[in-house]
Amino acid sequence: MDLKDLTDHVCVVTGANSGIGKATAIGLAQQGARVAMVCRNRDRGQAARKDILAACSHDRIDLHQADLAVQSDVRALGERLSATYDRIDVLVNNAGVFEGHRSETSDGIEKTLAINHLAPFLLTHILIDRMLETAKSHGEARIVNVGSEAHRGVRIDFDDLQGENGYSGLRAYGRSKLANVLFTHELARRIHETGVTANCVHPGVVSTNIWRGTDWLSRIARLFNWFYDAPETGAEGPVYLAASPAVHGVNGQYFNGTEQAKPAVAAFNEKTAARLWRMSRELTGMPVGNEKELL
C-alpha cells in the first residue's frame, strides 16, 4: 500500500489500546506520525504505548486518557488536544463498544449511542477548528470514522433513539453504526471544499475484544476466531484513508477495507442525516439551528 510520509503530522486515534485502534496507531506511527492515543484506562494505554513504541522507529507517541462515555471527558479531551497540538492532520474515530444489555452513562444516555456515535460527533466538533487550520496551512486534514457493515438492515428510530422501549444489543450496535455513516455524509457536506475530508470505513470482520460486552456473542465469536482477520488487516482501511495519497480530496465516502463501497440506502437519507445531526447536538448540549456555523 502506497502511504504518505507522516513525519511532522499529528494523528489522533481513539480506542488506541486495543484491536483495530492499536493496529491503526502502529500503522500511522510507522509512517512517522506523532500519534495521540486516546484510551480510557491509563494502564491499558501505557501497555499499548510500549508495544507501539517497539513497533516504530521514533518516540512521538502520546497517551491521553478519557472516558468517551462521559461528555465532560470528551470536552476536556478535545480542549487538551487542541491546546497541545498546533496541527491535527488526522482524527480516527475508532473507539466503540457492543453492549449486550442496556445501560446508561453518567450523562443518562444509552451507552452504545453515547460511545459509538455521540462521542465522535462531539469530539469532531471540538477538533474541527484545529483541523481546518491544519488543512489551510498544510493542504489537508482527514477524519476517518470507523463504521461497520452492521449498519445495514436497521433504521434510526427517532421515537426511541436510546432503546428505552425494548433493547437489543445487535440493533443498538447496528443503529450506532448507521449513525456513523449518516454523520459522515452530513459532516462531509458541511466541510466540502475546506480541505478537511471525512470518510467512513468498515474494517472487516476482525478478531478483537469488541464482543466482550455480551456473554453469548463472545462465546460464538471465540468459536469462529480462526476465521476472522487479524487487527493489522482490520487497520488497513483506516490507515489507507488516513494516509494514502490515492484518497486525497475524497470526501463523504464509505469504504470496505481499502475498497470504496456503497453503504445501505438508509445512509443516503438527507432528512434523516439532518435530523440525527440536530438531535445529536441536543444530546451533547450544543445549541441547535445556527446554520451560519459550519458544523
Ligand X SMILES: NC(=O)c1ccc[n+]([C@@H]2O[C@H](COP(=O)([O-])OP(=O)(O)OC[C@H]3O[C@@H](n4cnc5c(N)ncnc54)[C@H](OP(=O)(O)O)[C@@H]3O)[C@@H](O)[C@H]2O)c1
Residues noted as catalytic: 173
| CA distance readout (Å), 113 to 8, 30, 40, 116, 156 | 34, 32, 17, 5, 11
Half-sphere exposure of 145 (CA within 13 A, CB side): 34
In angstroms, give the least distance from the CB of 21 to ligand X.
Answer: 5
Rounded to 10°, the helix 19-30/42-55 angle is 40
Query: With CB under 6 A as the contact rule, which of the stretches 28-36, 65-73, 81-89, 245-253 interacts with ligand X?
Result: 65-73
Pair type for strands 90-93 and 141-146: parallel
Q: What is the number of residues in the chain?
A: 295
Tell the smallest beta-carbon distance from residue 30 to ligand X (Å).
18
- Regarding 33 and contact with ligand X (CB under 6 A), the answer is no
Q: Does 145 contact ligand X by CB under 6 A? A: no
Does 280 bind ligand X (CB under 6 A)? Our answer is no
Single residue of 41, 106, 137, 260 touching ligand X by CB under 6 A: 41
Q: Does 213 bind ligand X (CB under 6 A)?
A: no
What is the 8-class DSSP label of residue 150?
G
Complex with ligand X: residue 209 or 244, whichever CB lies closer: 209
The nearer residue to ligand X, 10 or 70, going by C-beta atoms, is 70
Residue 25 is a binding residue for ligand X (CB under 6 A)? no
- Say how far apart CA 258 and CA 277 lie, in whole Å: 27
Q: Is 120 in the site for ligand X (CB under 6 A)?
A: no
With CB under 6 A as the contact rule, the residue among 3, 47, 170, 205 that binds ligand X is: 205
Residue 34 contacts by C-beta under 8 Å, 6 or more apart in sequence?
8, 9, 10, 11, 60, 61, 62, 85
Interface ranges with ligand X (CB under 6 A): 15, 17-21, 40-41, 44, 67-69, 94-97, 115, 146, 148, 202-203, 205-206, 208-210
